[in-house]
Amino acid sequence: MTAASVKHCYAMLNVSAACSSDELRSAYLSLVKKYHPDSISGHANADRFAQVEDAYRQILVSIKHDVVFSMHMCVCIVYAVLLRCVI
């Protein structure tokens, strides 16, 4: 997943990449309620619903990847510091 595609996902949900998890979830829920094929709103659209769902999932995967990568980097730094102390 490229950075451009993640930015596109945020744009699709009408939120910034710096939004909180609560803002992201709120935007997602608002849009899926609006576009859900079974909704009684005049905006019901199965294709748009699927796009919103996919965008939200891609953002969540991206966030999870960033967290795991950050944790991995912290472990590597701590390990490097410990090795210096031992040697």
List pLDDT tens digits, range 7-53.
Answer: 899 999 999 988 888 999 999 999 999 999 988 878 888 999 999 99
In the numeric block, which tokens belong to residue 10? 């945020």
Contact 32, 53 (CB under 8 A): yes
pLDDT score, position 21:
87
Residues 6 or more apart from 1 whose CB is under 8 A from it?
58, 61, 62
Domains and CATH numbers, the chain: 3-86 (1.10.287.110)
In angstroms, the CA 22 to CA 64 distance is: 16
pTM comes to 0.71
Amino acid at 27: A
Give 31: exposed, middle or buried? Use CB within 10 Å, 0-12, 13-18, 19+: buried
pLDDT score, position 83:
67
Q: Is residue 67 pLDDT above 60, yes or no?
A: no
